[in-house]
Amino acid sequence: MTLQCVLKKAAILLVFMLMCSLKGFSQTDSLRFYASQLDSIYSKWVNSPDSTLKKDSVITAFLHVNPTSKIKAAGTLQGFALTYNTPEINWYELATVIDKDSVGYLIKVRIPRKIYNQHKMLTCWAVWWGRETQVVKYGGINMRIKLTLQSQPQKASVYLIPHRIWKSKFENTTWQDHIGLLSDYMVDSDQTNTAVTIDETVYTVVFKLGNKFLTRTHYTRPMDIEPTQKVTVDFQNE
């Protein structure tokens, strides 16, 4: 079993244990439920002939959530899990929390393209740790806007940073010499030409091809006006 498979299985384990605690199962029942379900779902994910649910066919989503405006739970907010469940698909993913400010939590998650192409709503759960682990349903997450990222030549790495974070943390620094500082904001599902899904946030988009960088500010337009948007750069003419 590869390291990626082990990590995927561990992620599913955590989410299942959290879901079980939400349902009010005892610890013993939770573990039994997990043991009976994990191998089945994990096996389907690994061995499914439908390659659209595998890691090499995903789209990266950058989204904001603000659970404190909707729910109250004791303890410290630790993170988020996104789920999508039908009789045919059981999908769970732990989101990466990138940043937090007055707007809420910026999360990044990789979503199977099959789910993204057919369904624009996921369920989000907030995970709180205190005396007891609490998993609280935050609500629905809309994968609202598709942002196409293109470069000439192709095969550029891309980073999406909310503009307010870019201005406060990176703009006046030597970030080009320390590109690792931007790693959390990297579109890690693919290089250009590619696409991501975003919410209505202004982003600074950084393109990296070899040792050359180009930046663009993308003023995201409302989904109702323009559900598909684009950022393009040309390394050969700049």
Task: Write out pLDDT tens, residues 138-197.
Answer: 778 877 799 999 999 999 999 999 999 999 999 999 999 999 999 999 998 789 999 999
Q: Write out the H or E segment, with its range, that includes residue 12.
A: helix 3-22
Q: What gap in Å lies between CA 75 and CA 78, rounded to an integer?
A: 9
Mark whether 29 and 116 lie in a shared domain. yes
What's the pLDDT at 130? 66
* Segments forming the whole domain that contains residue 219: 145-237
| pLDDT, tens digit, 9 for 90 and up, residues 12-42 | 455 545 554 444 444 334 333 443 443 444 3
pLDDT class of 78 with cuts at 50, 70, 90: confident
Look at the chain and report how many structural domains it folds into: 2
Average pLDDT over residues 46-56: 43
Residue 232 has pLDDT above 80, yes or no: yes
What's the confidence (pLDDT) of residue 203?
97
Same domain, 77 and 91: yes
98 in the Ramachandran plot: left (φ > 0), alpha (ψ -120 to 50) or beta? alpha
What's this model's pTM, rounded to 2 decimal places? 0.74
122 and 32 within one domain:
yes
98 and 120 both lie in a single domain: yes
Which residue, of 102, 120, 142, is where some domain finishes? 142
According to the model, what pLDDT value does residue 140 have?
80
- Asked if 135 and 54 sit in the same domain, the reply is yes
- Which of 114, 129, 124 is CA-nearest to residue 63? 124
13 and 110 housed in the same domain: yes
Q: Same domain, yes or no, for 8 and 126?
A: yes
| Sheet order of strands, 90-94 included | 90-94, 76-85, 121-129, 133-142
Phi-psi region of 145 (alpha: psi -120 to 50; beta: other; left: phi over 0): beta
